[in-house]
A and B are shown apart, each in its own frame.
Chain A
Amino acid sequence: MKKNNFLHKHQKTLAPLLSLVLIILITASVTPGFLSIRMVDGHLFGSLLDILHRATPTALVALGMAVVIGTRGIDLSVGAVIAISGAVTAVLTVNTDWPVWVVILCALGTGMLCGLWNGILVSVFNIQPIVATLILMVAGRGIAQMITEGQIVTFHSDVLDAIGNGYFLAFPIRVWIAIGMIALTVLVMRKTALGLFIEAVGANVRASRLVGIEARLLVLSAYVFSGLCAAMSGIILAADIRGADANNAGLWLELDAILAVVLAGASLAGGRIYLLLTIVGVLIIQTLTTAILTSGLPVQYNLVVKATIILAVLLVQSPKTRQWISDFFTKKKRAANSSTGKADTGKGSEKP
C-alpha cells in the first residue's frame, strides 16, 4: 500500500526516467556493445559517452526553454541565437586579437541581448511569445549571415578547441560545462524563490500580479536566460567544428528543446517546471537519434522511427491514457470480484 502511494505520487517523475531506461535497454539488445565504455588515455569512450557529448548543446537550450515555457511562453529563436553567437565567436577570434575569454563574453552577451529583445516584445509590448520569437527565428539567421558575411568562417583557438572536444577528469569538458550550468540553474530556481515566482506567473499571471510579483520583469528575465543558454550552446557548437556556419548551426534545435520540455511532463500552458526531467527528455531524444544511427537502419527511416517512439512516450504520459489504464484495471478487478460472488461491488472503483 505504501509503495503504491509512492508510485502514485511520483508517477510523473518516473515516466520519463523509465522511458529512457527502456530505450537504452532495447537499443543495447539490438546493438551489441552499445553499453560498453572503454578507457583510452584517461578518457572515457563509448556510445553512452557519445550520447552525452552530443546532447550537451540541446540540453543547454532546453534548460532555457524549460524556464521560458514555465512562464507560459515559448522561445522559437534559440536556433537562430546559436547561429548568431557562433558567428560572433568565429568572427571575433579571426578578426581581433582579443583574449579568448573576452570573445566568449561577447558571444554570451550577444545571446542575452537577443533574449532581451524577445523579452521586451513579449512582456512590454504583449506580443504573443510564439509570434515575438518567430521574428528573431527568421531574422536571426540573417543577422548571423551578415556577421560572417555569408561565409563559413573557420578559426583556430586552443581554448575553444578544448571547449568543443577536450576532456577533463575522463569526461568531455562540454559535458562538465552543461552539468555546471544545470546545477547552477537548479540551485537558483529551488534555493531562491525565483522558481516559485516563475511557476506562479506561468500558472496564473493575474493572481501573481495581485500578490505583488513583478510579472513583467520575471518574464523578461526568462527570455534573457534562454538567450544566454542558447549562446553557450552556440559557442560549443562553433568550437566543435572550429567554424561558424550561419545557415546550419543549431538548425531545428528549438524543436528538440521544446520536445524535451514536454517529455519532462511540463505543459505549454505554463506552470510547473521540471529542470532535471527536461535533461532526461534531452537524453531520450539524443539516445534515440544515436541508437537509430548505430542500429544500421536505412537512413531514410530515421526521422519517422524517432517520431513514432517519441509519440509513444508522450501517449504513455498523457493523463487520458493513464485514466484508461487505471479504468481498465478497476474493471478487471471488479469483474474478478463479481465472478467470485463477492457482494462488495463498486468498492474496487472507490479505492484509488
Chain B
Amino acid sequence: MSDLVKDALEVKETSAVKETVEAAQSAVRPLLEIKHLSKSFTGVQALNDVSLQIQQGEIRALLGENGAGKSTLIKVLTGVYPRDSGEILLDGSLISASDSGHAQRLGISTVYQEVNLIPTMSVMENLTLQHQEKTFGLISWKKAEIRARELLAQVGLDIDPLRQLDTYSIAIQQLVAIARALSTQAKMLILDEPTASLDSDEIKQLFDLMARLKSEGLGIIFVTHFLDQVYSITDSITVLRNGECIGTFKTAELSRSDLVSHMVGKSLEDLAPTAHDHSIKRERTELLQLNNVGKQRYLQPLDLNIAAGEIVGVAGLLGSGRTELCELAYGSVKPDQGEVTLSNHSLTKSSLRRAIQVGMGYCPEDRKQDGIVAELSVRENMILALQASKGWWSPISIAEQQKLVEEMIQRLAIKTPDMDKPIGELSGGNQQKVILARWLITHPALLILDEPTRGIDIGAHHEIIQIIKELCEQGMGLLVASSELEELVMFAHRVVVMKDHHKVSELHGNEVSEQAILRTIAS
C-alpha cells in the first residue's frame, strides 16, 4: 500500500474519531473515561495515546487483531500493568488500581476467557472467596450460602451452591464467574472473550444476562472475535490496531466491511487487485483430500482438496478456525467425522508417524510450545521428524546427520555458529527455518504451515516466502494459514476463508485478492 493511501486513510479515521468524541461529550458524564493512555514494554509501544469513554448502560465491543493492544488495555485498566502515562476516570473521579483486587473494589470487575475460578471448590466457596461472611470472626457457612444464592439469583442461575464447581458446564462456570465479578458492586464489567468455548444456547443465556445488566445501568466492555456477536449485542465498537485507538463507532452505523477494514488496517476501495498469477500450470494430481472433515465444538465440517504444486491459503480473523483446520488436516487433532486422505492413503485414524511416512509435514503456529525442543541442538531438532518416522531402532548416523543438516543450513541460510548449539539460543526467524528444515529433510508431499512468518524479522520473513514459492515450484503441495493477507495473496493459488469456525468461501485464481478476502470475511 502506498504511503499516500495510508495518509488518506488516517485522515479519514481521525475525522471519524472526532465526530464520535464530540457526540459523546455532548451526552451526560461518562461512566468510564480513559484519557491519553500509553504503555510500552521494552521498546514495544503496546498502547499509544488511547482515549475512550463508556456511558452507563452501554455495551462496548473492544475489537482488534492479535497484538492490537486489547489485553494490554484491560490489564492496565485493572491495574495488572502500571501505565506509563494517561488518566483513568471512573464516575468522574480519578482512579489508579494497583492490582485486579483493588480494581474490583473500585468498581471494575473482569471475567477472563479462561474461567478464573477454582474448579475443585464448591460454587459457594468460589463466590465468597474474596470476602467471607463472618460471625464472631469465624466464617459462617450459613451466611455464605445465603450470600451465594443471592449472587447466583442476580445472574439468573438456579443451581446448588454447595456442589463442586467443575461438575457444572463451562457456560455455568462462566456465569458463576460473572456473579463473582458482580459481588463487589461493580460499575464496570469487562468480559474478555467469554463466548470462546460456549455453544449457541449458552451464548444466548449469556447475552440475556448482559442485556439485563445493561438495563440496570452497568457499563460493559465485551472482547470477542465473533463479529456476529458484536452486531447482535453491542451498542458501540472501539477498534484498536497496533496499540492505537482507530476509533469508536456506533454499532448500528458501522458496516461490517468498514469494521474489518479498520481492524486489519486496509480499506476495500483502496486495494487494487494485485497482478500475481494465481493459476497453476501443471496438471492436477490430488494430494490432500478432506471430505466433510469436522469436529464438534472445534470446526464445522468442510471439504478441501490440495494438488501437487499448489499453495492453498487459509485466511480469517483471529479465532476463526485457521489453526483448527491445520490441526485436523495434519491429524494432531482427530476429526469426529469425515475422511482425510493423502495421496490415496487414508489417514483419518492413523498415527502421526504414519501420516509423516506417507508425506505429511506441519509447522505449528506456536513455535515455542509446539515446535522447538529448546534444550536440544539445532542438529537434533532438525533430524527429529525424519528420525521419528524411521523409528528409534534405525538411527541416522552422525555423518549422515551432519551432511543433511549442513545442506539445510546452507540452503535456508540459517544463521547459527555451529549445528550443536541449543536451538533455544537462536533468533525467532532462524528457529522457524530450522523447523522448516526439519520437515524438508523428510521430503514431504504436503506441508502445512501455520503462521510461518509470525514473530520473525523482515529479512527472514522475505526469505521464508521465497522458500515457500520454491517448494511449490518443485511440486510440493502447501497449506498455509496466515493472518497477513498481503502475504497470502502473494503466493496462494487458492484461499480458503474461515469465519466463526466454518469455511465461508473458497477463492480461486483471479478472485484471490486482499479486497475479495476482506469482503468475504465481512459478509
Q: Residues 169-212 of chain A: 1 if any B CB is under 8 Å from the residue's CB, otherwise 0?
A: 00000000000000000000001111011011001101111111
Q: Look across to chain B and name the residue whose beta carbon is closest to the beta carbon of A201.
A: B373
**A248 CB to nearest chain B CB (Å):** 38
* Contact in complex: B373, A203 (CB < 8 Å): yes
* Contact in complex: A203, B392 (CB < 8 Å): no
Q: Look across to chain A and name the residue whose beta carbon is closest to the beta carbon of B371.
A: A207
Assembly CA distance A213 to B381 (angstroms): 13
Query: Which of A191, A196, A199, A212 makes the CB contact (< 8 A) with B352?
Result: A212
A203-B374, A204-B373, A210-B364 known; A193 and B356 CB under 8 Å? Answer: no
**A200 CB to nearest chain B CB (Å):** 5
Residues in chain B near residue A53, CB distance under 8 A: none
* Contact in complex: A210, B374 (CB < 8 Å): no
Name the interface size band of chain B: 20 to 34
* Contact in complex: A212, B376 (CB < 8 Å): no
Residues in chain A near residue B373, CB distance under 8 A: 199-200, 203-204, 207-208
Query: Which of A191, A193, A207, A214 makes the CB contact (< 8 A) with B387?
Result: A193
A210-B364, A211-B438, A214-B353 known; A196 and B387 CB under 8 Å? Answer: yes
Q: Look across to chain B and name the residue whose beta carbon is closest to the beta carbon of A221.
A: B392
* Contact in complex: A206, B384 (CB < 8 Å): no
Name the interface size band of chain A: 20 to 34
* Contact in complex: A211, B356 (CB < 8 Å): yes
* Contact in complex: A204, B395 (CB < 8 Å): no
Residues in chain A near residue B380, CB distance under 8 A: 196, 199-200
- Indicate whether B375 reaches chain A with its CB closer than 8 angstroms: yes
* Contact in complex: B372, A207 (CB < 8 Å): yes
Assembly CA distance A193 to B387 (angstroms): 7
A207-B370, A212-B385 known; A192 and B356 CB under 8 Å? Answer: no
* Contact in complex: B384, A196 (CB < 8 Å): yes
* Contact in complex: B372, A212 (CB < 8 Å): no
A206-B369, A211-B356 known; A272 and B375 CB under 8 Å? Answer: yes
**B374 CB to nearest chain A CB (Å):** 7
Residues in chain A near residue B391, CB distance under 8 A: 193
**B456 CB to nearest chain A CB (Å):** 18
Residues in chain A near residue B394, CB distance under 8 A: 192-193
Assembly CA distance A62 to B16 (angstroms): 70
* Contact in complex: A197, B388 (CB < 8 Å): yes
Residues in chain B near residue A111, CB distance under 8 A: none
- Indicate whether B116 reaches chain A with its CB closer than 8 angstroms: no
Residues in chain B near residue A214, CB distance under 8 A: 351, 353
* Contact in complex: A211, B376 (CB < 8 Å): no
- Indicate whether A73 reaches chain B with its CB closer than 8 angstroms: no
A210-B352, A212-B388 known; A203 and B375 CB under 8 Å? Answer: yes
* Contact in complex: B392, A197 (CB < 8 Å): yes
Name 12 extra pairs, CB < 8 A, besides A196-B384, A200-B373, A208-B388: A193-B390, A196-B376, A196-B387, A197-B387, A199-B375, A200-B380, A203-B373, A204-B369, A204-B372, A212-B355, A213-B353, A214-B353
Chain B residues with a Cβ under 8 A of chain A: 332, 351-353, 355-356, 362, 364, 369-376, 380, 384-385, 387-396, 438
